[in-house]
Structure 1
Amino acid sequence: MAQSSCVEGKSVINDFDGMQKASRESIDLAMKSFGSFSQGIQAIAVEAADYSKKSFESGSAAFEKILSSTSIEKVVEAQTEYVKSAYEGYFGELSKLGTMMTETTRDAYKPFEGLFGKFPK
């Protein structure tokens, strides 16, 4: 009887060691994922700040051009140019940020691929 409790005791210890190892591995995976996600979000924030700065500068230049226009036609022309470039820039930036977010999500998921399978492309 004493022998079987030792065997059971070793089993419990082995299970506990296995649980500790699995827990450490899970924490390592989570930390890698969090690190990738954090880097991606920082890159997105930098990109958004750069776009905001460019957008502000572009808007200021367009406003100055409008104020210095000598005719209504020149005002309409300057405003039309600005609206067109702002529209194209906005949707281009939106697409770029979407791509960056997708890449960030993929990179954050990579450590878990072995557990859950491959991320579909």
Structure 2
Amino acid sequence: MDMMNNLDEFQKLGKDNMDLAMQTAGNMSKGFQAIAAEVADYQKKSFEEGTAAIEKIVAAKSLDKAFEAQTEYFKTFYEGMVGEMTKIGEMYTDLAKDVYKPYEGMLGKMAK
């Protein structure tokens, strides 16, 4: 009877580990898809802003206005890039937390 209980526990542990692995894979997949979508959206927005800035610079009636447009674009580009990198960093942090979350319960049980 004791051997049967051990076998049942071993099978349950195997199933639990498989469930955790599947949940982890799902969380990672969703997280990486969200990050990829964010990067693609940022690239599209950045390209559009760059194109608009070039048009504005070319259409400037004076060198001062062209320089002003260029400076404005670089400032906006830099601020946008810093903001985007911060956001993507936070998305990676959230992904790491989501991947770890299913294991918290298992690690808690093992500690007991």
Alignment match, 1:97: 88
Q: For 1:38, which of 29, 45, 49 is the aligned residue?
A: 29
Q: Which runs of 4+ in 1 moved over 4 A?
A: none
Alpha-carbon distance, 1:12 to partner: 3.8
Percent identity between the two aligned chains? 51
Output the CA distance in 2 between the equivalents of 1:71 and 1:59. 20
Question: Structure 2 regions of 5+ residues with no counterpart?
Answer: none
Question: What RMSD, in angstroms, separates the aligned Cα atoms of the two structures?
Answer: 1.3
- TM-score, normalised by the number of residues in structure 2: 0.89
Question: Structure 1 regions of 5+ residues with no counterpart?
Answer: 1-9
- TM-score, normalised by the number of residues in structure 1: 0.83
Q: For 2:51, which of 57, 60, 65 is the aligned residue?
A: 60
1:53-89 deviation line (CA, Å, top 9, x unaligned): 0000000000111111121111110110000000000
Alpha-carbon distance, 1:14 to partner: 3.2
Alignment match, 1:78: 69
Letter in 2 for 1:16: L
1:26-78 deviation line (CA, Å, top 9, x unaligned): 01011111111111111111111000000000000001111111211111101
Bigger Cα Rg: 1
* 1:51 corresponds to 2:67: no
Letter in 2 for 1:76: F
